[in-house]
């Protein structure tokens, strides 16, 4: 799993697999939430393309990204969860 984090360790983007390649990034704002979209001929975003897009947005829209990261953390905190014997946190969406 790959997760891009803010300096205070809040998630900006996360995913389980990002293939290499030249992708076409774009973003949209809906209800004050920035949605990062990446299009590719394979239907999945590329790792380096996401990395470059997040870096660009961090320079130009840092406040929006940190606010969105705070919202994600708050939503995760509100989910019922449990920690197993290995210390792994499991969230159960309601």
Q: What is the pLDDT of residue 24?
A: 53
Q: What is the pLDDT of residue 62?
A: 94
Please, are residues 64 and 56 in contact by the beta-carbon 8 Å criterion? no
Please, are residues 91 and 81 in contact by the beta-carbon 8 Å criterion? yes
Q: What is the pLDDT of residue 25?
A: 52
How far is residue 83's CA from residue 67's CA, in Å, rounded to a whole number? 27
Q: What is the pLDDT of residue 26?
A: 54
Q: What is the pLDDT of residue 59?
A: 95
Query: Model-level pTM?
Result: 0.62
Across the 94 residues of the chain, what is the mean pLDDT of every consecutive 10-residue run? Answer: 90 82 55 57 72 90 92 80 72 62
């Amino acid at each position: 799993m790959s997760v891009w984090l803010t300096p205070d360790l809040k998630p900006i983007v996360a995913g389980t697999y990002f293939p290499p390649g030249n992708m076409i990034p774009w973003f949209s704002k809906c209800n004050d939430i920035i949605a990062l979209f990446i299009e590719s001929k394979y239907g999945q975003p590329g790792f380096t393309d996401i990395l470059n897009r997040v870096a660009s947005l961090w320079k130009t829209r840092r406040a929006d990204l940190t606010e969105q990261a705070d919202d994600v953390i708050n939503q995760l905190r509100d989910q019922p969860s449990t920690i197993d014997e290995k210390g792994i946190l499991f969230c159960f969406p309601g």
